[in-house]
Structure 1
Amino acid sequence: MADENNHENGAVCYARSSRSAALTWTTLAFFAGFAGVSAFGPIVSRLKESMEISAVLMGVLSASPSLTGSLLRIPFGAAVDRMGGKKPILILLGLAGAGIIGLALLYALFPEPTAAQFPLFLLAGILCGCGIAIFSVGIPTVSYWYPQKKQGAALAAYAGLGNLAPGLFAMLLPAMVAAMGLKFSYIVWAVFVLAVFVLVMLFMKDAPYFQYREMGIEIDEDALIHACGQELLPSGAATDSLKKAGASWRTWILTYFYFINFGGFIALTVWFPTYWSEFFKMSIINAGFLTAAYSLSSSLLRVAGGRAADIFTGEKVALFSFAAVIAGSILMVLVEKSFALALLGQMIMALGMGFANAAVFKLVPRYTPAAVGGASGIVGGLGAFGGFVIPPAMGLFVAISPTSGYSNGFVVFTILTLAALGLLYVLYRYPPAEGNVL
């Protein structure tokens, strides 16, 4: 056990590993799993041409990783209380690795895939998305290791660094495809994921509570706090917390906010490669770099948004964020083939979504104080489902108008976010008992 987990009173902690090591391995696992968002984004235009599928099906294929990545967050996040975080992470990484290997095999067997192979590619994409659900496993895993006064910084590092994966892979994957071809690019990616799987299996350790339980040592809460520094313990009441959170109308408003902004973040990470390559006729490499500019900026701005929410309140940051998303989406609709305006609109949306994602989780304990854990699971899990729903909705505009549809599709965000402004007012109008803070 590292010195950082032994305390001055002489008490001995029998758990192995350390907080920093646990944070490192959990963050690396999330980074590797979250990269699945970009499974199809950089090359979906190629698949569309060879398969001859509609823009709507193209959107479904692009977003397929987000389906499992969102829906699996709730059950796997709840499973941490029963089995710790290591086993759920290994299961999700294993499934994601199987999906990436499946894509490599499909490209080897079908160099020019047709519509007949669409279900197989869809299945592979769904498996790739399993790794995205590691987010909800990592939050309690890291929280159990760290004392409450240090959880904020640890969770910010975990979420911020892990969220960089889609942007980096949106940039790297097209370059790899151009240099090595589709099949070998996905083989390299699969090797990376499987290497992380092996490293996590060998070196990651669950928080002291779970190690004590596995060793058959009687668990004394005071001893865990004094010897190991583990203040937060599994409550065993995850189901009750989910029920209580689900019964609150405020939970569903916050879920809608996250549906637009984090779901939208995922949706645009898979949509922008196609947008830049089809609407502006750019190479997949340049489209990948522009997508990375959006994704990386939004991820890093989420950290700044969290600090702003601490200073100005979550409501005010949400109001600013929604206004930015509306402004950016309107600009994208009115772009008319101007690269400069399109890039400006993209970056304004990155600003709005990055700040909004931080603001939503600032609002969760504010509006659902009696069921923070359950509300976080619902908001994080179902909110991420927007990454699956929004791309096909944007694809409808392309189906109607194959050229202007790529810009007109951003009206989806304008409409959804205008509704969010109205719901934000409802939250302000009917606050919790302690009164308005906006």
Structure 2
Amino acid sequence: MIKKIQLPLQTLNLIVGFMVWVIISSLLPYMRDDISIPASQTAIITAIPVILGSVLRIPMGYFANVIGARWVFFISFVLLLFPVYYISVADTAIDLMIGGLFLGIGGSVFSVGVTSLPKYYAKERHGFVNGIYGLGNIGTAVTTFAAPVIADQFGWTTTVKFYLVLLLVFAAFNFLWGDRKEQKMKVPITKQIKEVYKNEKLWLFSLFYFITFGSFVAFTVYLPNFLVTNFELTKVDSGLRTAGFIALATFLRPVGGWLADRFNSYKLLIGVFSLYTVAAIILAFSPNIGLYTVGCLAIAVSAGIGNGVIFKLVPQYFSKQAGTVNGIVSMMGGLGGFFPPLMLSSIHSITGQYSIGFMLLSQVALASLILVVWMMYQNKLSITSEVFNYTSQGILVTDPKGTITSINPAFTELTGFTEEEALGKKPNILRSNKQSADFYVKMWKGLKETGMWQGEIWNRRKNGEIYLQWLNISAITDETGEHVRYVGAFSDITHTQRKSS
């Protein structure tokens, strides 16, 4: 029973964590009525919670493996009581910065669930499960929509204090119903980092998540104030539109995970970054709220699906170091939400417009698209290499003149000839002289005419032992139909032949 409720419980935990994480950005228009906040500090105040919320994701993912999700969530919610109360009594911009920094604990809990929940499900369901957990992102939409409505009735300070009750309730939920018997892994974090930091996939996944989840966070903290100041929308209308952006991106996250469980993840990411590139260009040149809405919704679609796809790929490649890698990748995603608001604010202060900033975002997305294509190509090469190197059949590749250009390890195991001894030689180094010259003439004639030949052939190992092969030879052609190389695959059937006779 306890194991069955972990997915809904941890998803609700993430909702609460994210609700707390964006308190300041959601209520900033109200806070500015009571607190003197220079325009130059607005972007900094909204971005600061992202810092700790990003950096803490590495230890959060690690400790989720060491002590279990139950205790990590419980301790996190207790610690959040202090900055939430501090913000509720804040009366200076510095107070908001200090309290906002520690609100980051709410955003850091993301890496807890993506580390813990895959332990309860089969690998082929990890994309969907992490996508369901990712629905917890809706917590930002709940606060963005509800906090302004409540603040209109009770004031922003009372609204913030309501979150103290919510944190206490969920701290109790985790203490009572968290899984006490969750599988633990106590590999030192330094060892895990050493095992993965040279892996290029870690940093490429981090870059992709920097774009997708970073966009989600950035637009969450950037839109409420931006829509009020640039399009003169009401605070509640601004909150509703931001909540719509968040809801769309959040509900598409499990869709992305579900799609990644069934289709090629790299092809899905190609679609994600193609859409993102176009959407960012629309935002760069949108002259009115209509086109701006279209661009934002397109960003939400690409961010939501992209987030789900990426966290299907992470456990697929890093199952043994899942906690640490989840922490690193999700940290980069969080940092991706820190820089765009600052960049857009800085560019606007210099140029008086946001177009250049959005064009930069489009170019980063385009670069990510190119990298995904490259990764997909490299993945295909890796699969081909694995098949070539680990198949039990001996394989040799020759040029059109029959000179050996490549062999696999099974070739050496079956024949005794090493790569140094075989490359540059002809396949006749294996000849046993048990077949007549006419046999080879017919073989090459058939190969030239049909592009393939297969049959039994007696060959000789390096030690002189003669054995019977089953040999398949295929011709590889270029676009003109000319043979550019030949691939031979063979296996030893001596014992099979003896048994049948």
Select between 71-80 and 81-90 the one with higher mean Cα deviation.
81-90
C-alpha distance in 1 between matches for 2:126 and 2:312: 14
Query: What residue in structure 2 maps to residue 69 of structure 1?
Result: 53
- What's the offset of the Cα at 1:157? 2.6
Provide closer, same or farther for how the CA distance between residues 435 and 36 of structure 1 changes in structure 2, counting only shifts above 3 A. Answer: farther
Deviation digits for residues 370-389 of structure 1 (CA, Å, limit 9, x no counterpart): 75554333212233211122
In the alignment, which of 42, 53, 61 is matched to residue 38 of structure 2?
53
Provide closer, same or farther for how the CA distance between residues 52 and 120 of structure 1 changes in structure 2, counting only shifts above 3 A. Answer: closer
- What's the offset of the Cα at 1:251? 1.2
Provide closer, same or farther for how the CA distance between residues 252 and 324 of structure 1 changes in structure 2, counting only shifts above 3 A. Answer: same
User: Could you tell me whether the CA contact under 8 Å between 2:31 and 2:156 is conserved in 1?
Assistant: no
Query: What residue in structure 1 maps to residue 383 of structure 2?
Result: 434
Provide closer, same or farther for how the CA distance between residues 75 and 379 of structure 1 changes in structure 2, counting only shifts above 3 A. Answer: same
- If each structure's strand is expressed as a fraction of its own residues, which one has the higher value? 2
In the alignment, residue 102 of structure 2 is paired with which amino acid? L
1:349 and 2:323 aligned: no
- Where does 1:175-214 land on structure 2 (aligned, <5 Å)? 175-201=149-175, 203-209=176-182
| TM-score for the superposition, normalised by structure 2 | 0.71
Query: What residue in structure 2 maps to residue 398 of structure 1?
Result: 348
Provide closer, same or farther for how the CA distance between residues 339 and 267 of structure 1 changes in structure 2, counting only shifts above 3 A. Answer: same
Structure 2 unmatched runs, 5+: 386-501
Deviation digits for residues 332-375 of structure 1 (CA, Å, limit 9, x no counterpart): 11111x22111111111101111111222233355557755543
User: Could you tell me whether the CA contact under 8 Å between 1:305 and 1:356 is conserved in 2?
Assistant: yes
C-alpha distance in 2 between matches for 1:398 and 1:118: 22
User: Could you tell me whether the CA contact under 8 Å between 1:19 and 1:146 is conserved in 2?
Assistant: no
- If each structure's helix is expressed as a fraction of its own residues, which one has the higher value? 1
C-alpha distance in 2 between matches for 1:399 and 1:290: 25
C-alpha distance in 2 between matches for 1:316 and 1:147: 23
C-alpha distance in 2 between matches for 1:361 and 1:149: 13
In the alignment, which of 67, 71, 89 is matched to residue 105 of structure 1?
89
In the alignment, residue 281 of structure 1 is paired with which amino acid? E
- What's the offset of the Cα at 1:199? 2.8
In the alignment, which of 207, 217, 237 is matched to residue 286 of structure 1?
237
Provide closer, same or farther for how the CA distance between residues 334 and 183 of structure 1 changes in structure 2, counting only shifts above 3 A. Answer: same
- What's the offset of the Cα at 1:165? 0.6
Provide closer, same or farther for how the CA distance between residues 187 and 372 of structure 1 changes in structure 2, counting only shifts above 3 A. Answer: closer
User: Could you tell me whether the CA contact under 8 Å between 1:254 and 1:379 is conserved in 2?
Assistant: yes
- What's the offset of the Cα at 1:140? 3.0
In the alignment, residue 84 of structure 1 is paired with which amino acid? G
In the alignment, which of 252, 276, 287 is matched to residue 203 of structure 2?
252
3-state DSSP class of the match of 2:5?
A: helix
In the alignment, residue 65 of structure 1 is paired with which amino acid? P
Query: What residue in structure 1 maps to residue 493 of structure 2?
Result: none
Query: What residue in structure 2 maps to residue 120 of structure 1?
Result: 95
- What's the offset of the Cα at 1:155? 3.5
3-state DSSP class of the match of 1:410?
A: helix
In the alignment, which of 308, 328, 333 is matched to residue 279 of structure 2?
328
| TM-score for the superposition, normalised by structure 1 | 0.80
Identity %: 23
In the alignment, residue 391 of structure 1 is paired with which amino acid? P
Query: What residue in structure 2 maps to residue 299 of structure 1?
Result: 250
- What's the offset of the Cα at 1:184? 1.0
3-state DSSP class of the match of 1:19?
A: coil
How many residues align? The count is 383
Provide closer, same or farther for how the CA distance between residues 370 and 95 of structure 1 changes in structure 2, counting only shifts above 3 A. Answer: closer
Query: What residue in structure 2 maps to residue 5 of structure 1?
Result: none
- What's the offset of the Cα at 1:178? 1.4
Query: What residue in structure 1 maps to residue 12 of structure 2?
Result: 28
Provide closer, same or farther for how the CA distance between residues 120 and 389 of structure 1 changes in structure 2, counting only shifts above 3 A. Answer: same
Query: What residue in structure 1 maps to residue 224 of structure 2?
Result: 273
User: Could you tell me whether the CA contact under 8 Å between 1:322 and 1:421 is conserved in 2?
Assistant: yes
C-alpha distance in 1 between matches for 2:383 and 2:118: 27
Deviation digits for residues 30-89 of structure 1 (CA, Å, limit 9, x no counterpart): 21111133222223345567534244x322211211111111111121112322222221
User: Could you tell me whether the CA contact under 8 Å between 1:141 and 1:206 is conserved in 2?
Assistant: no
C-alpha distance in 2 between matches for 1:80 and 1:366: 19
- Where does 1:116-195 land on structure 2 (aligned, <5 Å)? 117-146=92-121, 153-160=128-135, 162-195=136-169
3-state DSSP class of the match of 1:51?
A: coil
Query: What residue in structure 2 maps to residue 340 of structure 1?
Result: 290
Provide closer, same or farther for how the CA distance between residues 130 and 345 of structure 1 changes in structure 2, counting only shifts above 3 A. Answer: same
CA RMSD of aligned residues (A): 2.5
User: Could you tell me whether the CA contact under 8 Å between 2:273 and 2:369 is conserved in 1?
Assistant: yes
Provide closer, same or farther for how the CA distance between residues 87 and 291 of structure 1 changes in structure 2, counting only shifts above 3 A. Answer: same
1:411 and 2:386 aligned: no
3-state DSSP class of the match of 1:433?
A: helix
Deviation digits for residues 114-141 of structure 1 (CA, Å, limit 9, x no counterpart): xxx2222111111112011111122333
User: Could you tell me whether the CA contact under 8 Å between 2:128 and 2:254 is conserved in 1?
Assistant: no
Query: What residue in structure 2 maps to residue 424 of structure 1?
Result: 372
Query: What residue in structure 2 maps to residue 86 of structure 1?
Result: 70
User: Could you tell me whether the CA contact under 8 Å between 1:40 and 1:62 is conserved in 2?
Assistant: yes
User: Could you tell me whether the CA contact under 8 Å between 2:127 and 2:261 is conserved in 1?
Assistant: no
- What's the offset of the Cα at 1:180? 1.3
Structure 1 unmatched runs, 5+: 3-17, 111-116, 210-231
Larger Rg: 2
Provide closer, same or farther for how the CA distance between residues 372 and 28 of structure 1 changes in structure 2, counting only shifts above 3 A. Answer: closer
- What's the offset of the Cα at 1:422? 2.8
